[in-house]
Every structure is written in C-alpha cells, then in structure tokens.
Amino acid sequence: MQRRDFIAFCAAAAAAPVLADDAQPRRYPRTRLVGQNGAPLLAKMVPVNRNLIFHYPYAATPCFLLNLGRAATPAHLKTADAKAYEWNGGVGANRSIVAYSAICAHKLTYPTRDISFISFREEKSAGNKFASVIHCCSEHSQYDPAEGGRVVAGPAPQPLAAILLEHDPGTDEVYAVGTLGGELFNEFFEKYAFRLEMELGRTAREAVNGTSVVQPLENYCRQQVKC
C-alpha cells in the first residue's frame, strides 16, 4: 500500500462508526421494576397473559412485560444481518416472565399515550392466526414471546429485541439489566425525533436508572387497535 493510500485508509478507519453487535447482550443500568404505587413488582404479582408496559433502557423506549403462564425455554435466533444469538428464556419461579422492546422490528410502530397498534394477543382472531403472540397491526408482523420474540408471521426482518431480566429468588423482585437482539433504538429516536421532543422534551433519551414503573397497557394508552 502506498503511503498516501495508507494514510487515507487510517483516516477512514478512524472515522468509521463503531457498530453495536446485536448478537451480544448489551448491559444498561440495572433497574428495579416497580408497580404504579412505587413498590417493587414481585414476580408472583405479574398477572398471566396481560399486556404490561414499562420503559427501558431510555425514558421514551417502551417494553412489554409478560407472564406467559408457562415456562419460556431458551431459543436460538438470528438478527436481520444473520448473526446468531441465544435467548436464555423466561425468569421467575416458573420461568414464565419475559420482556421485549415494544418497538416493531419492521417499521418501528410502538405504543404511544394515544394509541397502540402493537400488543400481546392471547387468542387467535380473524387477522391473527396464531395465539399468544405479539401482533403489530401496521403490517401484521407477529412475534412469539415464548421463543425470544421470534418472527412467526409478517414482514419483520428480525425478532423483537429482548429485554434481559434478572429475578431475585430471595425477594422475588425483577430487574431489567440490558437488551439482546436488534434493539433499533437509534432508528427509533431518528424516526420519531419531532414527536418525542413534543411529548418528552429533552428527557426522551435519558437513560432509565433506578426504577421503572410497570403498568397495564390500557392504563398507559388511551386506545388499543385490535386487528
């Protein structure tokens, strides 16, 4: 390599962004999940098959917390760029509690205070041939929360990002500690910058730290679209 080319190569390498590896767990601040009264949310208090929502790892990034009522065992998955990763399954005494980013992996539909096009569905329906899936009504991507958020239908190119949970068997408390899979937060903040600024001002990208309030989706969101 000529010296001039070598210098150009070094300059390009120095300027290249460091890309996050979606196939590796990413640690964020360990955050205790709490109820709307501020008390720690105990795993045994999480109702089965109910849409619960909290925000993590940023103030503006919503996540679903689900008790599937049955053990969710480890699953092997792939990101959109074909990187393999392993999701470790559910937590809690029955390994039935799981959490996922509520930002659709297709075009980033997410639950707002006004409306939600994406939610967990226990039952099959006309537009939903699978039971017990997270269904996005925008273009009908469906994800299996018992399988690490695997895509079972629709155009989504990769699973929902999993929120990594820790369960303290002594206290029965649940903590969010990180993410695994294609988290898409940069794309989310870019796409919805104006809306998030209007709703949350400068706090939208603040890291959640300490506690995060878990609440029923119907309390958080005025209207749920069921398709």
Binding residues for ligand FES, per CB under 6 A? 104, 106-107, 109, 136, 138-141, 154-156
Nearer to ligand FES, 35 or 155 (CB): 155
Nearer to ligand FES, 77 or 174 (CB): 77
For the bound state, the minimum distance from the C-beta of residue 225 to ligand FES, rounded and expressed in Å, comes to: 11
For the bound state, the minimum distance from the C-beta of residue 135 to ligand FES, rounded and expressed in Å, comes to: 9
For the bound state, the minimum distance from the C-beta of residue 66 to ligand FES, rounded and expressed in Å, comes to: 18
For the bound state, the minimum distance from the C-beta of residue 91 to ligand FES, rounded and expressed in Å, comes to: 26
DSSP, residue by residue, the chain: --HHHHHHHHHHHHHS-----TTS-EEEEEEEEE-TTSSBPBGGGS-BT--EEEE-SBTT-EEEEEE-SS----EEEE-TT--EEEE---BTTTT-EEEEE-S-TTT-----SSEESEEEESS-BTTB-SSSEEEETTTTEEEEGGGTTEEEESS-SSPPPEEEEEE-TTT-BEEEEEEES---HHHHHHHTHHHHHHHHGGGTTPBP-EEEE-EEHHHH-SEE---
Nearer to ligand FES, 156 or 165 (CB): 156
Nearer to ligand FES, 68 or 137 (CB): 137
